[in-house]
Structures are given as C-alpha cells and as structure tokens.
Amino acid sequence: MKAVVALLCIFSAAQSFAQDRSPQDEALWILNRLTGVRNPADSPVAAQMATLITNGDKKGAAALATQQPQFLSVTVKEMAAQMSTREETVAIPLNDFAAGIIGVTRDESDARELLHGNFYYTADPAKIAAVTPVIPNNLLTDILLSNLHYNALERSNLDVGATLLRVEGQQIPTSATTSIANPDPAGILTSHAFLAAHAVAGTNRRLVEYTFREFMCTEMIGMADTGAPDVRIGRDIERSPGGDPLKFQANCKGCHTVMDGFRGAFSKWDYVPTLSNAAQTPGGAIYVGNGVTAGNFQPRIDNNANDNAAGVMFKMNRPDFVQYSGGYILRDDSFINNAVRGVNATRFGWRGLAPDSSPLASATGGVHTFGRLIANSAQFSRCFAKRVFDQICKHDLSDSDKDALFASLGMEFEQNSYNLKKLFQAVAVHPRCRL
C-alpha cells in the first residue's frame, strides 16, 4: 500500500514537472540560459519567445534571446574567459582573447578564423569618446602591453557586444611606444592574453598543450602516442630518465612526439613580462624578426654557434640545457603532425588547412598555418559544440551520449558555416539540453 502511494506521488510529481513545461516556462528557461542571467517572468522578450514556441519555432525563440546584450557580455564572455588563461577560470576581466570570440559570435563570421585570422576586436573609439570614467584606448599601453582597455570596457555601463569593433591587421609591440604589423597573425592564438598565459618562459610546449586543450578539448595525455616517430623531440628531453631508457620509450615519448612535433609553429614567439624596475619597463609579445636590437623587446635567439638556429628563440633549443645531444634542433617555424596514427586519426578528423585568402595562404609553418590545421579539423567543431553545451546546459552526459551529441552538433555547426551564434541557439533548444 505504502509503495503504491509512493509511486503515485512520484508519478504525480513527474506529471506536474512535465506539465510545467509550458511555452512560457520554456521561453524563460531558454532566455535565462542564453543570456546567463535571470529574467523577470513577465519579460516582454520571454513573452515574444513563448509565442514563437507555441507556433513551433523554437530556434526563432532562441534567436530572440541571442539578441539580448547579456548573451554576448555574460554567456559568451564567460565561455571565452575560461579558454583564455592557464587557470581556466571565469573570474577574470574581459581580455582581447574573449573580445575576439565575442566579436566573431556577434558578427556571425566563420569561427575558424579565430585561429588564423589577422584581426582583433577593440572598443569603437566613437562609442567610448564621451564615456566617463574614460576607457583607456592607446594601442600600445592599453591593448598590446596590458589589459587596461578591456578591463575598463567591461567595468563601464556600455553594452560590450555592441561596442566592440573589428580591426583588421594585428600589431605586436617593439617598444613602449612603437609597434609593427604581426608577421605571423593567428587570430586569438597570437592575442596578448593567450601569449601572456602560455608563451612566457618555458619552451613553448604549453602553447601546443593549451591549443589542444581549449580548441580540441583534448589533454596531452589523451593524445599521447608512443608509437609515433621521436625525430622532432628536443634536446632538452632526457632519453633515459632515472637511467631507464624504457621509461622514455613507454611514457615520455608518448606526449613529446606530438607536442614537440607541433611546437615548431611557435618557435619564433616569446612573451616577456613587464620588468619590475623603477620604470616598470613594459613587456609583451616578441617575434624573432621584430627588428629590435636592444632592451626588453630584443628577441633572445638561439645564437649558439653549433646550432645554426638564429631564426628561432633561444628557449626552443635550450643550448644551455642539452640532455640528449642527438635531439632535434629547431631552425625555423616548421612543424609536423604526429597525431595521425590509430585513434588520433579518427579522434581529430584532420582535413587539411582551413581556407585562407591572406598573403600567408602559401605558408607551410608558423602559428597561422598551425591554426588553420586545427580549425579545419572535425574535432574543432565537436569541441566548440561541447563548450557551448557545457555553458548553456550545465549538466553531464554519459561518454557515449556525449560523443554522439557533439558529433551531430559539430556537423550542424559546420553546415552553418561555423556560425557560433547559431550553435548557441541550436544547443539551447536541443532536447538533450534541458534536464
């Protein structure tokens, strides 16, 4: 008897829950999730969305929601902020990396250019001219050498999404007051935020690791392949750790074949932090061929006479830390893809380079070319589908459900010309999104 009563209670609760999914309830849920904020139950936008849902047009309802300013300034910004730094936290101010993703989403342009385009987004000077407090807007001091511009933009009462302006032609600093055109532009991979997070010190392997982590949703350990050739593994990697060569063969080699194969793309890049001296000598992104011969922006190149590698940064070959003299010496920004065997081939779905109409279209190395390779893979699309799903739906699925769902959403994303705004809309109305 008690069991029957309990079952009836559960049934009625379930019915009640199912009956709660009125068009009004659905509309408010989609609006809240796409804008990332709570909206009043009597919101006029929610009412319009409810009418569309009643008429069977859920995607139209989602499109209305993505017109709200909070969609870009809250939802897209939080997704992008997590991808921009090593800490992968939302609790950071707006930066140029996130502004790039917001801008591409707003403009409904091909998201692949986030990894190889020659542009950046900044506040439209005309829209911030009369704002107080003033939003600092100097290209060098506030955008290339710091995050002051984006921080102030976010703190203002301006609609961030509406204020951003796409600027063609990335720049890199050569001093506190001068800059040059970026010779190897790669969208947000060569943004100040991404380089500041991953190109500082080290050996530029972190740039590869985080590119895969953020844009392919794959950790290095997940793509390790001990059977791939170790020809490109650098000299700084010990081949007999602890005196045991088998340990290298069975462990270290797995990640390094892939990571070291790709890191050549970043061999001409470095990021130098601001010097904490009396003058606070600024730091920023450095490129090997920036023409600077003294000071903080002078590239520290590999000038070891035996290496013949003056075209790359010192940290790539570490002539001061040779653990295995037979290791690979990088001399240019070429790279090879060692993530092509077995599971990795189907995992990533490599499809060659993304189309590119820039003068760099014929390049065979550098971050620009690397970005085109990543962006054109099937996993890039699936990864963005996953990120959007996590941002909007906020619950977990089983592994098999995930794979199937993100594959289908990824394909839809590609069929819509890599339109991120449409991806958000498709995810928000997907039957698997709301629990």
In the complex with other proteins, which residue's Cβ is closer, 319 or 349?
A: 349
With binding defined as CB under 8 A, does residue 402 bind other proteins? yes
91 binds other proteins per the rule CB under 8 A: yes
Surface-to-core class of residue 222, CB atoms within 10 Å of its CB (0-12 exposed, 13-18 middle, 19+ buried): middle
Shortest CB 269 distance to other proteins, Å: 26
In whole angstroms, the minimum distance from the beta carbon of 313 to other proteins comes to 28
CA pair distance 41, 266, nearest whole angstrom: 50
Helix, strand, coil percent values for the chain (each to nearest 5): 50, 5, 40
Distance from C-alpha of 59 to C-alpha of 259, rounded to nearest angstrom: 40
Name the amino acid, one letter, at 27. A
CA distance linking residue 112 with residue 384, whole number of Å: 11
**Considering the rule CB under 8 A, would residue 241 count as an interface residue with other proteins?**
no
Q: Which is nearer to other proteins, 217 or 375 (CB)?
A: 217
Query: Site map for other proteins, 20-39, x if CB under 8 A?
Result: --------xx--xx-xxxxx
Please report how close the Cβ of residue 44 comes to other proteins at its closest, in angstroms. Answer: 13
Nearest to 226 by CA among 348, 346, 344: 344
Residue closer to other proteins, measured from CB, 310 or 343: 343
Give least dist CB 380 to other proteins, A: 12
Q: E strands within 249-339?
A: 269-272, 284-287
CB of 328 to other proteins, least distance (A): 20
User: According to the binding rule CB under 8 A, does residue 130 interact with other proteins?
Assistant: no
Whether the Cβ atoms of residue 87 and residue 95 lie closer than 8 Å to each other? no
Q: 53 or 255, CB closer to other proteins?
A: 255
Name the strand (E) or helix (H) holding 381: helix 378-392
Q: Does 401 bind other proteins (CB under 8 A)?
A: no
Q: At its nearest, how many Å lie between other proteins and the CB of residue 384?
A: 12
Minimum Å distance from CB 95 to other proteins? Answer: 14
Residues binding other proteins: what is the number (CB under 8 A)? 60
Contact between 218 and other proteins (CB under 8 A)?
yes
Rank residues 254 and 283 by Cβ distance to other proteins and give the closer one.
254
CB 185 within 8 A of CB 137: no
Q: How many residues does the chain have?
A: 435
> 384 and 420 in contact (C-beta within 8 Å)?
yes
Question: Closest by alpha carbon to 86, among 238, 214, 174, 240?
Answer: 214
Q: Is 349 in the site for other proteins (CB under 8 A)?
A: yes
Binding characters for other proteins, 248-287, by CB under 8 A (x = yes): --xx--xx--------------------------------
Token pair recorded at residue 49:
């969305």
Q: Assess contact for 181 and 169: CB atoms under 8 A.
A: yes
Cβ nearer to other proteins, comparing 372 with 386: 386
CA dist., res. 28 & res. 44, Å (int): 10
Q: Alpha carbon 164 to chain centroid distance?
A: 18
Contact between 348 and other proteins by CB under 8 A: the answer reads yes
Return phi, psi of residue 168, to 5°: -85, 140
Would you say 269 and 206 are in contact if contact means Cβ atoms under 8 Å apart?
no
Given a contact cutoff of 8 angstroms between Cβ atoms, the answer to whether 30 and 49 are in contact is: yes
Write the interaction track for other proteins spanning residues 44-83; mark x where CB under 8 A is met and - where it is not: -------------------------xx--xx--xx-----
Q: Which residues, 155 to 184, sit near other proteins by CB under 8 A? A: 155, 157-159
Query: Distance between CA 147 and CA 153 in Å, rounded?
Result: 10
254 or 327, CB closer to other proteins?
Answer: 254
**Minimum CB–partner distance for residue 229 and other proteins (Å):** 15
* Region binding other proteins by CB under 8 A among candidate stretches 261-269, 318-326, 359-367, 380-388: 380-388
Binding residues for other proteins, rule: CB under 8 A, are: 28-29, 32-33, 35-42, 69-70, 73-74, 77-78, 89-91, 155, 157-159, 213, 217-219, 221-226, 246-247, 250-251, 254-255, 342-343, 346-349, 379, 382-383, 386, 394-396, 399, 402-403, 406, 434-435
